[in-house]
Amino acid sequence: MFAMFDPQDSGRHWLASRPNRWDWALLPLVLALLAALAFGAMQMSRPFTVGQPTEIALDPIYLPYYLLRTILRMFTAMGFSLLFSFAFAAVAARYRAAEKLMIPLLDILQSVPILGFQAIAIAPFIALFPGNLLGVECAAIFAIFTSQAWNMTFSLYESMRTVPSELNEAARVFRLSAWQRFWRLELPYAMPGLLWNMMMSMSGGWFFLVAAEAISVAGQDIKLPGIGAWIATAIEQENGRAIAYAIAAMLAGIVLYDQLFFRPLLAWADKFRFEESQGETAQQSWLLDWIRRSSWARALNERFWERMRGALGWFGTQRQDATGPRWRHAPPWLPRAWDALVVAAAALAALRLLVFIHSDVGWGEVAHVVGLGFLTLLRVLLLIGLASLIWVPLAVWIGLRPQYSQRVQAVAQFLAAFPVNLLFPLVVYALVAYRLNPDIWLSPLMVFGTQWYILFNVVAGASTVPTELRLAADNLGLKGWLKWKRVYLPAVFPSYVTGAITASGGSWNASIVAEYVTWGKTTLVANGLGSYIKEMTDAGDFHRIALGIGVMCVFVMLLNRFFWRKLYLLSEDRSR
């Protein structure tokens, strides 16, 4: 039996620890963070009615407040993304029948543009909190969630499927239950890669921030106080100085949460690396060093993990049978019945799609949209290929040298977070001044924010290459291309495939922003599926919006199924 939790005993244990100088150094920082979070949370639930004007003042004095509101939304969305990733990846990786449905579903969710999610979610959230700004805030948080969750889920799923065989065997020997296996083996093994993907997801949230904070509903434009709404207002007013202020505020925010959140987490997660010695790869964090030297923090940490172990039952007396989960002993007809149910659901969806096309949009429009889809597909494949050639070697080099990875960490986060909307003034000026073809020169904007998925994932994969393996390669005299072919590329291949899948899906999503560029009264359009969806959204044509989103989902699913999925299975076999 577990000991009952006594709050008074916990308080006495904490107070019994005498504070030292590190406690007094951390106390102002903790109090300032708590005060800022409390103030931002209070501002999120103010009275509000649809139709009420929401003005964004382009005065630099308001930027710290807007930055606070934006970061609060992004971390709230990050918390929900983590919960979603834990549940979704654990079920998909463990149950084969569920995997057949859940992974294609994840492909679909990743390919649905943020405008599609927002159009569905805004009205229910406002109805859920009538007369309160919290409904619009929830819609914005949900939109940011849709730009963060899929990448993290793919990363956790990939790591759980590629746990080394010796660790799986150890879990079977100790007869860990599914719950114990997740918390004591799979999640710790996935932690380094998951943290890098959390950073990438935060950057993805910045990339689509304008769409999340500048919302259109019921003919009204709602701009929530934040950096995204600031950027949208600056673009409408063609205010280049406000754009520069927004870039400076973004950089300050990214450096701030990198130092206070991600850098300590990366240094803490270094103990989960799959090797016997850390060698030169240990991450460093000044804040984590302060926390470890603090007597109050050390006492709270010990008490927290003690209670967590008791609450979660990590060391419970009930063990799972070593033969595996109970679902494996299901009747032999059950998997066939499940497959038949999935096929029937797919057939029903296809029938409804055919009826929708025949009655509402017509086959000619479908052929036109499919042709636009092939143009966007060509751009995606070409740009992902070029980004891979550039970033894979550089990411391996960075991941193997932690002293450089820590230096470029915040810079890479800033580049990944840089909203492509901020480039619109330069892009419009260059294309108009030099009479360049938008179909060609707008294309790089698609991969501007998504290429970093490849960089972050490969850096995470390279940073987990065991020091023993690198030393063995050096002892065998492997050099040059042979060393890359036999050691580095196979080691990072699973991480690269995960990054490439999410970069590909993100590029399709980014096409809505990249193929339809607006600066003031000037608009440049590249032929493609993204510009089609954006134009139909502005026109309010729901049927053609649904057609464009549906065609995009089909393209992404087919690409993942017949190209990325093959590479993923290959990487899984190589890792075993």
Instruction: Please give, one letter per residue, the 3-state secondary structure of 400-433.
Output: CCHHHHHHHHHHHHHHHHCCHHHHHHHHHHHHHH
Residue 127 in tokens: 């109805």
**Cα 67 from Cα 225, distance rounded (Å):** 9
**Cα 156 from Cα 526, distance rounded (Å):** 35
pLDDT by 10s per residue, the chain, length 576:
334 434 444 445 544 556 777 777 777 888 888 888 888 888 888 888 776 777 888 899 999 999 999 999 999 999 999 999 999 999 998 888 788 788 878 877 877 777 667 767 777 888 888 888 888 899 889 989 988 898 899 889 988 888 888 888 888 888 888 888 888 888 888 888 888 788 878 877 887 787 788 876 545 678 889 998 998 888 888 888 998 899 899 888 888 888 888 888 888 887 776 654 444 556 678 788 887 777 777 777 777 767 766 655 544 444 444 444 444 455 676 677 767 777 787 778 777 777 777 677 778 888 999 999 999 999 999 999 999 999 999 989 888 887 776 677 667 767 777 777 777 778 888 888 888 888 888 888 888 877 888 888 888 788 878 778 888 888 888 888 888 888 888 888 888 988 888 788 888 878 887 888 887 778 888 899 988 988 887 777 777 887 888 888 888 888 887 888 788 777 766 655
Measure the CA angle with vertex 448, ends 108 and 542; round to 5°: 40
Q: Alpha-carbon dihedral of residues 234, 238, 239, 242, nearest 10 degrees? A: 30
Rounded-to-5 percentages of helix, strand, coil across the chain: 80, 5, 20
- Which residue type, as a one-letter code, is found at position 272? F
Contacts of 236 (CB under 8 A, 6+ apart): 520
Instruction: Count Cβ atoms below 10 Å from residue 107 Cβ, excluding itself.
Output: 22
0.85 exceeded by the pTM? Answer: no
C-alpha 520: how far from chain center? 31
Instruction: Please give, one letter per residue, the 3-state secondary structure of 221-265.
Output: EEECCCHHHHHHHHHHCCCHHHHHHHHHHHHHHHHHHHHHHHHHH
Contacts of 7 (CB under 8 A, 6+ apart): none
Fold annotation for 54-284+333-575: MetI-like fold (1.10.3720)
Scanning 313-358, the segments in alpha helix (DSSP H) are: 333-356
- CA separation, residue 476 to residues 345, 401, 472, 483 (Å): 55, 21, 6, 10
Instruction: Please give, one letter per residue, the 3-state secondary structure of 377-404.
Output: HHHHHHHHHHHHHHHHHHHHHHHCCHHH
Residue pair 488/470 in contact (Cβ under 8 Å)? The answer is: no
Residue carrying the six token digits 């030393």: 471
Residue 509 in tokens: 């999503």
Question: 340 in helix, strand or coil?
Answer: helix
Residue pair 218/154 in contact (Cβ under 8 Å)? The answer is: no
**Cα 298 from Cα 6, distance rounded (Å):** 19
**Cα 388 from Cα 447, distance rounded (Å):** 11
Candidates 131, 134, 125, 119; CA nearest to 211 is 119
Scanning 129-216, the segments in alpha helix (DSSP H) are: 134-161, 165-173, 178-181, 187-207, 209-213
**Cα 294 from Cα 299, distance rounded (Å):** 9
Residue pair 425/240 in contact (Cβ under 8 Å)? The answer is: yes
Residue 403 in tokens: 């002293």
Task: Decide: residue 238, CB within 10 A, 0-12 exposed, 13-18 middle, 19+ buried.
Answer: middle
Candidates 107, 66, 67, 71; CA nearest to 88 is 107
Q: Domain locations in the chain? A: 54-284+333-575, 285-315
**Cα 189 from Cα 156, distance rounded (Å):** 9
Instruction: Work out whether the CA dihedral 544, 208, 45, 235 comes out positive or negative.
Output: negative
**Cα 303 from Cα 127, distance rounded (Å):** 42
**Cα 137 from Cα 143, distance rounded (Å):** 10
Candidates 104, 111, 142, 105; CA nearest to 126 is 142
Whole-number pLDDT of residue 81: 94
Whole-number pLDDT of residue 379: 92
- DSSP classification of residue 328: G
Residue carrying the six token digits 């569905």: 120
Residue 123 in tokens: 């009205």
